[in-house]
Amino acid sequence: MDALIRRPKTKILVDGGDPQETLRVKNLTGVVDGQTTNPTLISKNPEVRSEVSSGRKFTPREELDEYKKIVQAISPLVGDAGVSIEVFSDFNTTAEEMFAQGKEMFSWVSNAYVKYPCTHEGLRAAQMSVEQAIRVNITLCFSQKQAAAVYAATKQSKQPVYVSPFLGRLDDRGENGMDLVANIKKMFSAGDGHVLVLAASIRHLDHLLGAFALHAELATAPAKVWEEWAAKSFPLPGDDFAYQGHDKSGNLLRPIPYESLDLSQSWEIFDIRHELTTKGIQQFVADYKSTLKQSAKV
Ligand code: E4P
């Protein structure tokens, strides 16, 4: 296998919850800049899965300890793009509760980023975090307005803030998720550069190349996508690369038009509601609860 000779400008992040996978990717590419995790990925960690399938269920504290153990095993394998650790939240979780979790998670490893959902409470928690120099990654982003709100809510941050547009989940419903990345990059080009675009929900090599071509600052992909990239000798998109998004039936994905938004407005002006953010939270809650004792209070 060839070594990684020409690095993309985009940072390389592994999307997963298994340190062994991170190590495998690192052995192939020579470098992994960071890692993203979420409640679904943690519930799929081999040790967590094997405990759950042999009948064990966790209390919320035990689940958190498992999460911490996984993050601490991953942290030394990755670089300064850090390990993104997601708070557990449902629709009743207040910003203060998310922030309390975030503070604890941030203390687990020196390269932590705390992931908050792109909701009103999530953004309030992000505001509290950046005031205390806690690095944040705002997840479940599906619209340009949400990204604008992330920008406006975290303006005081002295450190880079990540926003994670989920391309694959937009593709799944026929919209061209890559357009969202392009639109956010274009919108942020008029900004102060404090928010970095982390292309997420990457499902295949073309997504990866599209994110590289758009100069997304970071891209997170499952180990299997990085393995495919390595197997093909680490291709990078040429100047003529044109991303063509297709759905599973081969139809072209619907374009997402650019919106002219004023980044200097207060974040609360932006309509940040999105059906996929709601669905994403529901899924994370369900996957988190699947590892818990029935009687456990979340
Ligand atoms: C990363 O931060 C996201 O949680 C992840 O990329 C989601 O990917 P999925 O849409 O394939 O679940």
The pLDDT profile of the chain, 298 residues, written as one tens digit per residue, is 555 667 899 999 999 999 999 999 999 999 999 999 999 999 999 999 999 999 888 999 999 999 999 999 999 999 999 999 999 999 999 999 999 999 999 999 999 999 999 999 999 999 999 999 999 999 999 999 999 999 999 999 999 999 999 999 999 999 999 999 999 999 999 999 999 999 999 999 999 999 999 999 999 999 999 999 999 999 999 988 989 888 888 899 999 999 999 999 999 999 999 999 999 999 999 999 999 876 555 5
Nearest CA to ligand 1 atom 12: 201
Choosing from 26, 68, 69, 115, the catalytic residue is 115
Distance CA 280, CA 274 (A): 10
> How far is residue 86's CA from residue 162's CA, in Å, rounded to a whole number?
13
CA-proximal residue: ligand 1, atom 7 (nearest): 201
pTM score, two decimals? 0.96
Residue 293's pLDDT is 76
Q: In sequence order, what E strands does 94-225 have?
A: 112-117, 136-141, 161-165, 195-199, 218-221
Q: What is the SS3 assignment for 272?
A: coil
Atom of ligand 1 nearest to the CA of 137: 2
Q: Is 209 left (phi over 0), alpha (psi -120 to 50) or beta?
A: alpha
State yes or no: is 115 an active-site residue.
Answer: yes
Q: Are 87 and 105 in contact (CB under 8 A)?
A: yes
> What is the 200 CA–ligand 1 centroid distance (Å)?
6
Q: Which ligand 1 atom is the nearest neighbour of the CA of 38? A: 4
For residues 37 and 17, the answer to whether their CB atoms sit within 8 Å is yes
Residue type, 295: S
Look at residue 176 in the predicted model and tell me its pLDDT. Answer: 97
Task: State the pairing for strand pair 11-15/82-86.
Answer: unpaired
